[in-house]
Structure 1
C-alpha cells in the first residue's frame, strides 16, 4: 500500500493524510470506512450520480480496478479521530438526537442509526459507513441531500426513505449529537450481517452519510 499512499496524495488536501479528515466541515473523514462503501461513492462521483465538480473531474477517467484500490487503501487506514465538536445546542436538542440515533422513532418510521451503522456507529461491512469523526455541518448537509433527493443510492435507497421522515429539527439534533461523540473504542466496522436491518431496507443498503 506504500505505492497507493503516494498515488492518493491528490486526496489529502481535502480529506487529510490517510483520509483522517481536516478542520473543513464539508470534506469528510474517509479512513476506516468499509471498502465497499468507499468504492460505491467513487463510482457514484465518476458517473455523476453524486455531484461535486472537483470529484467528478478527478475521477472521470479512472478505471474500476483503480477506484477499488483507492477504496481498499482508505478502508485500511486507522489514523486517530479528531476531537469531537463542542455541542452548541440545548440539552433538549442533544437528547432528541441521542434518542433518534440509539432508539429511533418507530411511530414515524425512523429506525435508530445504530440498527444499520452499528452499536458503536463504526459502520458495518460491506457498505454501511461509520458516522463518527464527521462535522455537524457535513452530517446536516448529507441528511438534507437525502431528504430532498439531491443525494440518492442504488435500490433499496434506504437513506432516502428514512431521511424523508426527518424534520429539520431531527436533522439538527442528529447532526449535533453524532458530531459530539468521542472516537469508538474499536473503529473497525462490524462484520456483515451483525445487525438486523430495518424492514424498509429489504437488504443491506449500499450507501449512507459519507
Structure 2
C-alpha cells in the first residue's frame, strides 16, 4: 500500500525531497579554462619562468639555478631544440614526454611564442674560482684556443653573447649548472645536433677544467641592456655547424 501511494507522487518532487534530506546543493559548473597558447604552455613556464615568478617575465628562467632562459632566444634555435628532444637527439625525460607527440607546426608555434618574449635574466654572482681560472674562461670565450682548435664563443654566439638570427642561441644569462650539464651531455654523447655537430666537436676538445672556467665566466657576466639576438653574425662561422647552415664557413 505505501508503495502504491508513492507512485502517485511526481518523480521530480521525490528527487527534490531526496536532495533536501541528503543536504546536497546543486553544483556550480567549473570555470572554463581559456584555450590560449599561453595557457597551453603553462607546463613550459612552470620550469622556465612565468609572469608570476621572479623575475616577473615569461621564459626568463625564474629564480631556479638550472633551467635556462628561453625568452627572446631565436625562434629557429628553440624550434631545433624542441625537435631534438622529440626525435631523441637531446635527452631530458620531462621535455621528451611533453613534445614527443607534437607536430612540427605546433613546435614552430611554441618557438615563435617564446622568441617574442623579451625578459630580463638575473645577474648571478661571479663564481668563487681563482682569478687565473676565471681569466682562462674569459680567454676561451673571447679569444678561443688555437692550440686546441677551439674557436672563441663570441665567434659563433656573437660579440655580445646574445646569439644571432635565425638559429644561434645566446649564452649570456645562462645558469652555470646548465652550461656544465650541456657540455657534459655533448662529451658523453647524450646530446646531439644535426650533423656536423659543431658543439659536440668543440666539447670533446675541452678539458673539464676548461669547461668549468667557461661556465663560471659566462654565468656571472651581466646581460647587455638589449639582450636581443643580432640580426646576423658579423662573419661566417669558424667551423661547419649543421644547426646553422646559413652561416657556413
TM over 0.5: yes
- 8 Å CA contact 1:21, 1:28 repeated in 2: yes
- 8 Å CA contact 1:147, 1:166 repeated in 2: no
- 8 Å CA contact 2:68, 2:178 repeated in 1: yes
Decide which of 69, 80, 98 is 1:58's aligned counterpart: 98
Give the gaps of 5 or more residues in structure 2.
Answer: 1-34, 51-57
1:108 paired to 2:148: yes
Instruction: Report the CA distance shift for 1:53/1:176 in structure 2 as closer, same or farther (over 3 A).
Output: same
- 8 Å CA contact 1:121, 1:130 repeated in 2: yes
**1:27 matched residue in structure 2:** 67
Structure 1 distance, partners of 2:155, 2:126, is 25
Instruction: Report the CA distance shift for 1:83/1:54 in structure 2 as closer, same or farther (over 3 A).
Output: same
1:10 paired to 2:50: no
- 8 Å CA contact 1:158, 1:205 repeated in 2: no
Pairs within 5 Å for 1:117-132: 117-132=157-172
Structure (1 or 2) with the larger CA radius of gyration: 2
Q: CA RMSD of the aligned region, Å?
A: 1.7
- 8 Å CA contact 2:80, 2:243 repeated in 1: no
Shift of 1:55: 1.0
Decide which of 193, 199, 202 is 1:162's aligned counterpart: 202
**1:133 matched residue in structure 2:** 173
1:205 paired to 2:244: yes
Structure 2 distance, partners of 1:149, 1:202, is 17
Q: How many corresponding residue pairs?
A: 204
Give the gaps of 5 or more residues in structure 1.
Answer: none
Instruction: Report the CA distance shift for 1:84/1:74 in structure 2 as closer, same or farther (over 3 A).
Output: same
- 8 Å CA contact 1:118, 1:195 repeated in 2: no
Instruction: Report the CA distance shift for 1:161/1:58 in structure 2 as closer, same or farther (over 3 A).
Output: same
Shift of 1:203: 6.6
* TM-score (norm. length: structure 1): 0.91
Shift of 1:107: 1.6
- 8 Å CA contact 1:156, 1:205 repeated in 2: no
- 8 Å CA contact 1:124, 1:194 repeated in 2: no
* TM-score (norm. length: structure 2): 0.78
1:107 partner SS: coil
Q: Which runs of 4+ in 1 moved over 3 A?
A: 202-206
**2:228 matched residue in structure 1:** 188
Structure 2 distance, partners of 1:195, 1:186, is 21
**2:22 matched residue in structure 1:** none
Structure 2 distance, partners of 1:101, 1:29, is 19
Shift of 1:205: 3.3
